[in-house]
Structure formats: C-alpha cells, structure tokens
Structure 1
Amino acid sequence: MTWRALRARRRELAGLGGWSLVESLPALLAGYLVARAVDEGFLAGRLLNGLAWLGALAVVVVVGAAATGRTYRSLGAVVEPFRDDVAAQVVRGALRDATRAGGRPDSAAVTRLTHQMEIVRDTFAGLLMVTRGFFFSAGAALLGLLALAPVVAALAAAPLVAGLVVFLAALPAMVTHQRAYVRAGEQLGQSAAAALAGHRDVLACGAQTRVTADVERWVSAQAAAERMLARMAAIRSLSLGIGGWLPLLVLMLAAPWLVERGLTAGAVLGALIYVSTGLQPALHTLVQGLGGGGLRYAVTLENILRTYPLSDDQHPSGPATRTPHSRPPTGPADRSPAVEVRGLTFGYGPRARPVLQNFTLTLADRDHLAVVGPSGAGKSTLAVLMTGLVPPQAGTVHLAGATVAQIEPAVLARMRVLVPQEAYVFTGSLADNLRYLRPDADDHTLEVALDALGAGPLATRLGGLDAPVAPALLSAGERQLIAAVRAWLAPAPLVVLDEATCHLDPALEATVEAAFARRPGSLVVIAHRISSALRAGRVLVLDGDEPVVGTHEQLMARSATYRSLVGCWDDSVVPSRAASARHG
C-alpha cells in the first residue's frame, strides 16, 4: 500500500525531491567553502578572501533553510492523502465486519483508527523525511569529499558502510520485536474492553481471578516487548558509533599522513566538516528514524491491513490475480478431534468440596455421550470445563491433542460450541441468527439445516430466512430450536448441548439430537430426559461420588443412581433403546 500511494503521487514526490536537492546545498558546499576560506584566505594572510568564502557559505545556508520550509509543504501533499486512504480502509473494514451476517463490533478498531492511525501518519511522514534527507545529505557530503580528495572520501565511506551493514543486519529482529509490541498492545486493549464490558457477569460468576490474570498476562507481554525494544537501542548506538564517529577518528588519525601527501590543512578541515555536519547527522537521522518510527510504521500498517485487507478493487494486482487462502468448509465440520480429560479437579471456592475430583474421560471422534446426574452433581461444570470456558484447578482438557489453555481463543472458538439451556437469539433476521457461527453459509445450506433439525415449520411461520426475529416474541422452545440450528451449522468438531432442548417436545428433541448424531464430530448431551440417554452411545453418570460410564443396559445393572434417575424421569416408561428409536 505504501508503494502504491507513492506511485499515485509522483508529481508531489518530484516536488519534494527538487526542494530536497536545494536544501542539501549546504551539505554539498560547506566543506569546500571552508577549505577555500582557510587555504586561500586565512592561512594565506588574505582575511577578506576568507570572509568572502564564509559569506558565500552563509548565503548557501540561508537558501537551504528556505528550501527546508518548502519541503514540509510538499511533504503534506504526499502524507495527508495517504492517511485519508488508510483511515477509510479501517472504517470500511470495521463497518463491514460489524454489519455482515454473524459479525460483531470490534473494540480494537477504535485503537486502529486513533492511536495506530496517528502512528502511521506521523511515521510515514518521518520516513519520507529521513530517507530523502539521508540520500541527499549523505550523497552531497560524499560528493564534496570526492571533490576534495578521493582518498579522503574512501576513508570516510568505509566506516559509514560498515555502520549501515550492522544496522540493516539487526533490522529484521527489530521488526519482530516491534510487531510483538503492537500486537500485545492491541490484545491488551481487547482484553481490558471485554473485562470492563462484562464486569457484572464477571462478578456474578466469581471469575475475577481469571479475568484479572488474562488482562495481567497481556500487560506483562506488552511490558516484555517494550523492554526488548529498549535493548535494540544498543544496536542502533553501535551502528552510529561505527558509521558516524569512527570516520572522524579515522580522518584525525590519518591527517598527518594525508598532509604529508599534499593535502592542505583547509582540505583536512573541510573533510572533517563534511563528516561532522553531513555524513554523521544523516546516518544518525536514518538509524533513529528507521529503527524507531520506521519499525512502528511498518508493523502498525501491517497490522491494520492484516485486519482490514484491501478489497479487490483496491488491490494493486487487481481482482483477477488474487487467490483465496483456504477452501470454504463444505459441511458443518471439516475435522473431528477427540476430547481427553485428564485428572480434572474443580470446586467453587478454596474450601468448597470439589464438584469434580481427579476426573478422567476420553471422547473419541463421532462419540455420542449423554451426561446425567442429580442437580448440582457437576454436569454443567463439566460442560464449561470441557469447552475451555473455565480453567480447572487441576488436570487438563485436550482438544485435538492440545490443551485448551494452549489454544488461542479464536482457534478454540472454531473447535467447540456450547449451547446452554437459555438460548441466545438476537434481534435481526432469521438468517443472521443462523449464520452467527458460520458467516459463509448460503441460503441453501441454512434451509438444509432447518429441515434436518425439524425447524422448517418455524422458519415458515416467521416468514422465511429474511424475516425479522424479535426474541421477546419467541417461546423458549423456539429460541432453543434456532440456537440448535445455529450450533449444527457451526464448523466446530465438538458440540456440547447443556439441556439445550429442554423446552422442546420429545419428538422434536429426538429429531434435533438425531441430526447432531449424524453430524461429523463428537456430541455431548447434558440429558434431561431418559430418551436422550437412550439415544447416546455411552452415558456418564455424575452423582458426587465416583463417576460411572457405560451403556444404558450396563448402568441399569451397576448404578443405583442411574436406576433412580430413570425411575424419576417422566418418560421412564421407555424400556429400551429400540423404544426410544421408535419415538425418534
């Protein structure tokens, strides 16, 4: 995007270059005029000649200063349109993400549009000034040294090149650390915004420690990245020492040798002036500019464009040359990881009796597990632990071979979906609600999902996919049915239904669970009817003592808790899996 913006403003850049050339006249002529003033004026006993040469230098300095003012005017003609282009890109991307089906506002967009945008604008301007200043000033100084004596130019250029090599070699590491700093700051903003927005829920759930630890983690990450950036300043100082100060030392040490070979005292003084007022400031400006503002510019702009990429009509290569990075999913789930719970322990409070203690469970691909037990036995607790919403006090939960604590939140969100008893439906169209977890689903995919879960009559009654949905006008069962279709569409290999169908009638509940059982992936159902347990491949009984896992027939034989639950359920008259299948 930077090169595209520069190519689009060639005329303004040409004007900037022209005034920069005039501005560099003092750097080009200072050493030469001082050498003439010394050799042909003061050392020759001609005071007026010396003063005349210095007067010419003063005129050149005034002309250069006047040109400096014009360069800033030309700079604004390049920078401000570029800033407007980037700001428009951020606004378009944020609005697109917030208004698309299943989209949501991004709190980090405010940071990108304010703080990060100002970084981009200021550092872009600084980079232009730094780079053109280095090339014109350093180039002018080297030309002046060549005019004095080629050997002097060689003595000064060698350390300058060495200093540049040291700096450029360290630049990739500087970019990496600057990128870590910017992303840590953005993650910190998102984490803090989420904590503040949900502070009531955090207090209600007693999750203060977890939320505080999450925010503190990003504070520490940002602090560590900033400390590393500070260490990078030592490398910049080293390159400045080699490229800026070493040429002065070399020239001073070589001065007797140069004078012996015919170089005049004025030429030696002029060479020192070229290095001290031309090469050294130019290198210092370049290193500090690229090592500071340049890194911030590159990483911040990369971060903005990574979040809000250019659309087809904005991309330099055009829409025809762009290729997708990944194939869209063709079904509800493209891969199905196993779930493994090892040594899980969790209790609500340091002195409370653990709800789950040293609990272990393995859920294979395409497993269908029902979880039953009396109220307070830990069924919903297991659901939130298994999906990584709450960290355990001991033990681990593995999805696809990785612990949920090690999986990035965005990745974890695509690996599992938890549907609670209180279904979440928002104001909007029915299609928007169904696409909440699968934004790329087309209308045909939505209709297939509605039919698979027996929700076609509900969609017809509401008026179709484009019909508006008012949550307050829906029954609890209708909200659950919409949430179930949404979860079925999600590309998550693991689905956990925590009494998510308790307001549906038994026949519709059977249809919903059968659809999830056919869906690729693993299914866990927190059961509230015996028919849900009968449809499952295995049943887990939680009763506050040792958990028991088995089939319906096995548990009827060896679990008193399960037999008691079966006797208390309203549809306990269903004697076997075959009878349940007939009801489905």
Structure 2
Amino acid sequence: MSTRILPVADRAQVRAYARRLALRHPRELSAAIGLHGLTALSSLVAPRLLGELVEGVRAGGPGDAGVDIGLVSGAIGAFFVLQGVLARFAVYTSAKLGEKVLAELREELVSRVLALPLSTVERAGSGDLISRASRDVEEVSYSVRQAVPETLIAIVTGFCVMGALVLAGPLLMLPSLLAAPILLLSSRWYLRRARDGYLRVSAAYAQMIDGLAETVDGARTVEAFGLQERRRRRTDEDIAGSWAAERYTLRLRTVWYPCIDMSHVVSVAAAALIGGLFYLEGRVSLAQVTAAVLYTLQFSDPLNRLLIWLDELQIGGASLARMLGVAEVPDDRTPGDRRPAGDELVAEDVRYAYRDGHDVLHGVTLTVTPGERLAVVGPSGAGKSTLGRLLAGIHGPREGTVRLGGAPLTELPLDDLRKRVVLVTQEHHVFHGTLRDNLLIARPDADDAALLDALAAVDAVDWVRALPAGLDTEVGSGGVALSPAQAQQIALARLVLADPHTLVLDEATSLLDPKAARQLERSLAAVLEGRTVIAIAHRLHTAHDADRVAVVEDGRITEIGSHDELVARGGSYAVLWDSWHGGDRQA
C-alpha cells in the first residue's frame, strides 16, 4: 500500500485562520497590545532625558542649563522600574492569551484527526499523522507561547521608537533608512524560500517517523526474515533526507542573519556620523543627536527581535499549515437521502485499487442475506481483508457499488453506518483509563450488569474479576498492562455492547490460541444469533460452522457455497480444507 502525505494548507488559509483565531479574543488581544505599547513608551523616556542631560553638561553644567542631574537620574531610574513592571504584565497577558489560543488549536486538531476518513488514515500511514500531532503541535506551541508575543512586542516597540525618532528630529531619521535596502532584499530572499524549506523539513521528519514506526511495529518480522540491514539502510536514507532538508534551512539562516547584523551596524554608524554633521552645521542640537543615536540603537533591538522571531514564525506557520491541512482531506462519502430498507448487504461488480492501475478486487459480486453467517477464506494477499473493508464501508469501491438495504454505503452518514455495520480486526487499542471507560465507548449508557454480560460473552469475565479493582482498574498506558489476547477480548466485548446488525470480523480472534479462539467463537455465535456475520479467517473451523463459504483468489470469488458443498465439489476450498484439517485436527 502506498503512503500518501496528507494535504498542506496554503499561505492564505494559514493567514486567515490565524486572524480568526486571534480575533476570537479581542479583549485579551487589546489588553496585550496596550500593555506592550505602554512598555515601549516607558522605554523611550530614558534616551530623551539622557539627551537633555548631555545638552545640559555641554552648556556648562546643571546650573546654567537648568537641569537637575539628580532629578533627571531619578526619573530615568523610575521609568526603568515602570518599564519592568509593565513588561511583566504585558508578557503575562500575552502568555495567557497564547495558552488559550493553543488549547483551542489542539482541540480543533484532535477533532479534525478524528473526523478523517478511515480509508485516508490507512493510506497516509502513521508517520505523517504522528508528526503532525506531535512535532508540528510542538512547533506551533512554541510559536504561540514565544514567537507571537515576542513579535507583538517587537512591532509595538518598533513603531514607538520610530515615532520617538521622528519627534527627536525628522532629519535624524534619514540615516536609519540606509539600512532598509539590506533588510528588504535579504528578508525577501529569505521569506520566498523559508516556508517551502520548513515544509520539506516536516515532510522528511514524517518520512523518518513512518520508517521507524514500521520497523518497531514489525520488529519480530524483521528479525525472523533477517531484514535488519534493509531496515537500517531505510533508516539511514530517511535520516539523510531529514539532514539535507535541515541543512537547506540552515543555509538560508546563515545568509539572512549576517545581513540583519550588518543592517544594524550601518544604521547606528550612519546615525552617529550624519547626526554629527548635522550638529556641526547647526541643523540639530546635541540633545537631538544623542537621543537619535540612542533611539537608532534601541530600534535595532525590536527590529532584530522581529526578524529573528520571524524565522520561528516561518517554522510555526509551516507546522500550522500541516495541521490545518488535515481539514482539507475530502470526505470519502457523500450522504444522500436514501435510508436502508432492510439489512441485506449486496456488493455488485466491485473493483478496488490502492494504487491507480493495480486493482486488488476484480468485479466481485456478492449478496449476504440478513442473519447469514458467511466465511471468507483464501490464500494470503487474495483480497479478503480488502473485501471486508468494502463490505463494512471503510473504503468505497473504485467501480461498482456496495449497498445495505438498497442504499449505497458511501451515501450513509457515518454515525448511521456504524450503528448498522461494524468492522473488527486483529488490531485493537486499549485507551488509558478504567476498564469500564474502555467498554462504555461502545455504549455509554450501559450499566455494570450489561458490561459483565458482554465480558462473559467473550469469556473475559473471570480475568476481569481478578483485576485489582475489577471494572475500575486503570488499564492502558501507565495502568495494568493487558495481553494482546485480553485486548482482543475487550474489543469483542465492545462489539457485543454496540449490538450492530451486521459484523465484519477480520481475523478478530487471531491473537488467541486455537482452542481459546474456538471456544470464544462458539460463545459469540450464541450471543450474535440472528445477526449477519461476515468472518474473514485462516482457521477453517470458522468456515465449517458458517452457513456459506466464499473463496477469494486473486481478487475474485472463485467458489461459494456451504462447507459440505464445497468439499464435495473438490475445488480450491476442498484442497484448503484437507491441508488445514490434516495439519491441525486439534484446533
């Protein structure tokens, strides 16, 4: 199955979302901007007072200039203290707003991920989703907590400093403009390349995570077939790709950062030199020159902060684009007005491909009547699981239709579909929480008696009662570790509680030993009496107990009938039965 990277939002979508997110909290945003503005204004008083103090000293002393050095020094100190106090509340307000915005962003991401079509999740692979839910969230978190407040501070402070510089002397603002071409050209060069560079970094990281996850999940297979060297080469290639992407963005920064530093040096030197010339010509006072040089030097701080944090915003913006891209995944179903008129499940001339031009199902036609138990058997890779996913509505067929009660599965609302048809595979997850919470996922209103009945139906009630706190035992990550077989029983107990009419069981008891699986299937058969059950299995005792057996080979149904009919026919199923039954009579 090929991995498809999920979509990425474009620049316009990211800007629009960031604007909407910020404007959700206008009061907090206004308070943060106001406090940062007051902080910036308080920082502008000291340079002006220092200029007046220098002018007074040049004029011949405090007495002649009418300047009280002690008073001016005290005022400068007082404004420094005021600046510190205002900065503290400004940063606190910005951080509080950032945490609120970040919490909303995380909640929306979880909602988007949970709303993804299962077919898309399977095709995309785990690496891309994991990286978006972990690394990208972390990058956006850092941007919201640090880069956004720091950028806000830099912008407000920069405007205030520029205003003060103009008030100090319009002519003295001209030297600072000499650095503008350096900043504009270098920033434009950088920004045109940075976003795509950071998107490549994230994609390379996702590829690396995907490869590592495959290796870890398939560790036993890797060891059994001696694939260690191949997986090591895959990991090395992924790391090399990630390193190359990181090196590209590093090269961008090594060009841009020196340009920023050079612009600061040019602006301050020009302010001192040209300001001195203006003073000698009598166009400005010494106080104005002093204040202008200090303001130009002070302006370098918000400008430098703005440009440096702009780099972090590029990283955060690229991560936000990947997070928002999850919402761009098209729905795999188009709900219509038709509702099932019954429970008959019909697949008609169904074809399906994971890759274009490579069908794994070829014109499959199958009718499953309500209450029937159908076993689907065949060699590995024949298309059994794919057929099961189509019958459960996980995938939509490339051609043909799958209908439930006359209504196409892809036109049924997902909530309605899941109440009618449920797929259970050998892959199960136990969530962190109590065992009761894990069971109530299927039926939130179930009482303890219903939960214990469901556990008894899957032969799990004895070991559940033996747990330290019974149903209230904490399981999952950090709790009591359940074995794969126990986790599978919990999944089947959820199935009993959900009580759908049609079940598709894809190797649903594969993690149990043959005797336990046989006993469990018999228990389930009693509980699920009257429901439609489609069982995909390698253990042919499931086929023996079924009403009908469908044999899938090379993406086609080659035989269908009861167990006795197919054995008497002497075809593929008879060969499978003889081979399996002779080698596993005790199962």
TM-score by length of structure 2 reads 0.57
Q: Give the conservation status (yes or no) of the 8 Å contact 1:422–1:500.
A: no
- Counterparts in 2 of 1:261 and 1:54: CA distance versus 1, 3 Å: farther
Amino acid at match of 2:111: R
Q: 1:302 aligns with which of 297, 317, 321?
A: 321
Gaps of 5+ in 1: 313-329, 340-362, 368-417, 451-458, 488-494, 510-526, 530-584
Q: Give the conservation status (yes or no) of the 8 Å contact 1:94–1:106.
A: no
Q: 2:86 aligns with which of 63, 67, 85?
A: 67
Question: Whole-Å Cα distance in 1 between the matches of residues 380 and 405 of structure 2?
Answer: 21
Question: Whole-Å Cα distance in 2 between the matches of residues 35 and 70 of structure 1?
Answer: 29
Equivalent residue for 1:189? Answer: 209
SS at match of 1:234: helix
Q: Give the conservation status (yes or no) of the 8 Å contact 2:136–2:322.
A: no
Q: Give the conservation status (yes or no) of the 8 Å contact 2:350–2:397.
A: no
Q: 1:282 aligns with which of 295, 299, 302?
A: 302
Q: How does 1:451-470 map to 2 (within 5 A)?
A: 466-467=502-503, 469=505, 470=508
Amino acid at match of 1:420: S
- Counterparts in 2 of 1:158 and 1:528: CA distance versus 1, 3 Å: farther
- Counterparts in 2 of 1:14 and 1:499: CA distance versus 1, 3 Å: same
1:420 aligns with 2:441: no
Equivalent residue for 1:44? Answer: 60
1:76 aligns with 2:95: yes
Equivalent residue for 1:232? Answer: 252
CA RMSD of aligned residues (A): 4.9
Q: CA deviation at 1:228?
A: 1.5
1:269 aligns with 2:290: yes
Q: Give the conservation status (yes or no) of the 8 Å contact 2:177–2:267.
A: yes
- Counterparts in 2 of 1:102 and 1:272: CA distance versus 1, 3 Å: closer
SS at match of 1:444: strand
Equivalent residue for 1:221? Answer: 241
Q: Give the conservation status (yes or no) of the 8 Å contact 1:119–1:300.
A: yes
Q: CA deviation at 1:170?
A: 1.6
Q: How does 1:13-32 map to 2 (within 5 A)?
A: 13-32=29-48
Equivalent residue for 1:199? Answer: 219
Question: Whole-Å Cα distance in 2 between the matches of residues 174 and 421 of structure 1?
Answer: 44
Q: CA deviation at 1:304?
A: 1.5
Question: Whole-Å Cα distance in 2 between the matches of residues 479 and 103 of structure 1?
Answer: 28
Question: Whole-Å Cα distance in 2 between the matches of residues 232 and 79 of structure 1?
Answer: 28
- Counterparts in 2 of 1:252 and 1:72: CA distance versus 1, 3 Å: closer
Q: CA deviation at 1:332?
A: 3.2
Question: Whole-Å Cα distance in 2 between the matches of residues 283 and 129 of structure 1?
Answer: 14
- Counterparts in 2 of 1:504 and 1:151: CA distance versus 1, 3 Å: farther
SS at match of 1:24: helix
Q: How does 1:404-483 map to 2 (within 5 A)?
A: 420=380, 425=385, 434-438=392-396, 443-444=402-403, 466-467=502-503, 469=505, 470=508, 473=521, 474=535, 476=538
Amino acid at match of 1:83: L
Equivalent residue for 1:35? Answer: 51
- Counterparts in 2 of 1:433 and 1:97: CA distance versus 1, 3 Å: farther
Equivalent residue for 2:25? Answer: 9
Could you give the per-residue CA deviations for residues 39-90 of structure 1, whole angstroms, max 9, x where no partner exists? Answer: 1245431175244333322222221111111112211332112111122123
Q: CA deviation at 1:225?
A: 1.2
Amino acid at match of 1:39: E
Q: CA deviation at 1:290?
A: 0.7
TM-score by length of structure 1 reads 0.58
Q: CA deviation at 1:301?
A: 1.2
Amino acid at match of 1:249: A
1:149 aligns with 2:149: no
Question: Whole-Å Cα distance in 2 between the matches of residues 335 and 197 of structure 1?
Answer: 22
1:137 aligns with 2:157: yes
Question: Whole-Å Cα distance in 1 between the matches of residues 318 and 543 of structure 2?
Answer: 44
Q: 2:111 aligns with which of 92, 108, 121?
A: 92
Q: CA deviation at 1:32?
A: 1.9
- Counterparts in 2 of 1:35 and 1:97: CA distance versus 1, 3 Å: same
Question: Whole-Å Cα distance in 2 between the matches of residues 100 and 333 of structure 1?
Answer: 12
SS at match of 1:206: coil
1:121 aligns with 2:80: no
Work out the percentage of aligned pairs sharing the same amino acid. 14
Q: CA deviation at 1:223?
A: 0.8
SS at match of 2:502: coil
- Counterparts in 2 of 1:219 and 1:445: CA distance versus 1, 3 Å: farther
Q: Give the conservation status (yes or no) of the 8 Å contact 2:383–2:555.
A: no
Question: Whole-Å Cα distance in 2 between the matches of residues 442 and 144 of structure 1?
Answer: 72
Equivalent residue for 1:412? Answer: none
Q: Give the conservation status (yes or no) of the 8 Å contact 2:208–2:238.
A: yes
Amino acid at match of 2:295: Y
Equivalent residue for 1:376? Answer: none
Q: Give the conservation status (yes or no) of the 8 Å contact 1:37–1:54.
A: no
Q: Give the conservation status (yes or no) of the 8 Å contact 2:543–2:563.
A: no
Q: CA deviation at 1:275?
A: 1.2
Amino acid at match of 2:220: R
Equivalent residue for 1:244? Answer: 264
Gaps of 5+ in 2: 1-16, 332-348, 364-377, 410-422, 424-498, 510-516, 522-534, 574-587
- Counterparts in 2 of 1:138 and 1:198: CA distance versus 1, 3 Å: same
- Counterparts in 2 of 1:268 and 1:309: CA distance versus 1, 3 Å: same
Question: Whole-Å Cα distance in 1 between the matches of residues 34 and 394 of structure 2?
Answer: 55
Q: 1:54 aligns with which of 51, 73, 76?
A: 73
SS at match of 1:332: strand
SS at match of 1:29: helix
Could you give the per-residue CA deviations for residues 329-387 of structure 1, whole angstroms, max 9, x where no partner exists? Answer: x9736999778xxxxxxxxxxxxxxxxxxxxxxx9xx99xxxxxxxxxxxxxxxxxxxx
Question: Whole-Å Cα distance in 2 between the matches of residues 246 and 3 of structure 1?
Answer: 35
Equivalent residue for 1:173? Answer: 193
Equivalent residue for 2:231? Answer: 211
Q: CA deviation at 1:192?
A: 0.3
Question: Whole-Å Cα distance in 2 between the matches of residues 163 and 283 of structure 1?
Answer: 10
Question: Whole-Å Cα distance in 1 between the matches of residues 113 and 354 of structure 2?
Answer: 30
Question: Whole-Å Cα distance in 1 between the matches of residues 350 and 75 of structure 2?
Answer: 79
SS at match of 2:68: helix
Q: CA deviation at 1:217?
A: 1.8
